[in-house]
Amino acid sequence: MTTSVQATPATGPRFSAIRIRNGFLVSLANVLLLIGVVLAAVPFIYMISASFKPQNEIFTFPVQIIPKEPYLDNYITLFGETLYLRWFFNTAIVAVGRTALSLFLCMLAGFAFAKYDFPFRRVLFILVLASFTLPFEVVLIPLYTMMVRLGWLNTYWVLIIPFAASAFGIFLARQYALALPTELMEAARIDGSSELGIFFRIALPNLRPALAVMGIIFFQASWNDFLWPLIVLNDSTMYVINLALPTLRGPYNDQYGLVLGGAVIAVIPIIIIFFAMQRYFIEGIMAGALKG
């Protein structure tokens, strides 16, 4: 003879208190999230709005988010009387070149650290991680001296090559590569594939989420770089956007509308790339969280 015990739903004051507490926490989280979104969005919205206003309307109070009449002279001056298109082109060349080279070298190094056994592998990886702890200001002067001796000042090389590989990128690539099944590599070797063939045909296709995460991080870091271009560039035709924007303020009066117009154009590529790679970016972040 068997007896069955039917579970009764949790009721009573204790259960009601838990529901009320959980509901309060969810509501509080939503309110804090909404406040964070507003704090992040308002400066961006104001930047777009002010770029379509003349100078005398930018600082009027109360603030008008929607301009009375769209003022396009800021953009006409930006593209017609400055070197903005050249600066934008310089920034794009540097960002794309640095991102592509960094992805290739970091993925190659991370894959090697994860899947190959070679002498001093642990020691070398520890040195890579140790270099990640060094502030950039520590190596700034030695790096600048090297660039001077190579004759790379005011060139694209000086903005791309010194950042072609990063300790963070190598570490991140290694963590993702550790999850690759070794059996796939062994099967490829049996089929006669070379080690580079394994890297390009097996590793990279299976590491697309990692490529998306690292690509967005590298591209954004390059696009937003300011300190290093400030040190190594003194030719205005080689300026990148972040270095060039302060020069738009004018010698006698601050042309804020012009500067904000340039800033609006400057953030567009970052937004486009993020939304284009959003699915892979989220997959990469989730995969990295699960591995961690």
Structure tokens at 154: 């005011």
The answer for 12, left when phi > 0, alpha when psi is -120 to 50, beta otherwise, is: left
The C-alpha angle with vertex 174 and arms to 169 and 180, in degrees rounded to 5, equals 135
* Cis peptide upstream of residue 62 (ω within 30 degrees of 0): yes
Contact 256, 55 (CB under 8 A): yes
Please write the tens of the pLDDT for every residue from 132-168: 888 888 889 999 999 999 999 999 999 999 988 888 8
Q: Which two tokens stand for residue 137?
A: 């200001």
Cβ count within 10 A of residue 283: 15
Neighbouring CB atoms inside 10 A of 62's CB total: 5
For the question of whether the overall pTM of this predicted structure is more than 0.85, the answer is no
Give the integer Cα–Cα distance in Å for 244 and 261: 13
Question: Using CA atoms, how far apart are residues 187 and 180, in angstroms rounded to an integer?
Answer: 13
Find the farthest-apart pair of alpha carbons in the chain and give their distance in angstroms, rounded.
Answer: 97
Spatial CA neighbour of 156 closest among 97, 224, 108: 97
Rg for the chain, CA atoms, rounded: 26
Position 92 scores a pLDDT of 95
**Residue-by-residue pLDDT tens, the chain, 292 positions:** 455 555 555 555 665 666 766 677 788 888 899 998 888 888 888 888 888 888 777 777 777 777 777 888 888 888 888 899 999 999 999 999 999 999 999 999 999 998 888 888 899 999 988 888 888 888 899 999 999 999 999 999 999 999 888 888 899 889 888 888 888 888 888 888 888 888 888 888 888 888 888 888 899 999 999 999 999 999 889 999 999 988 887 665 678 888 888 999 999 998 888 888 777 767 666 665 445 4
Closest CA to 83 of 256, 258, 230, 223: 258
Contacts of 239 (CB under 8 A, 6+ apart): 83, 87, 90, 229, 233, 247
Count Cα atoms within 13 angstroms, Cβ side, for 276: 8
Distance between CA atoms of residues 162 and 272, nearest Å: 26
Q: Alpha-carbon distance 134 to 145, whole Å?
A: 18
Residues 6+ apart with CB under 8 A from 180: 114, 115, 202, 203, 206, 207
Secondary structure (DSSP) of 137-153: HHHHHHHHHHHHHHT-T
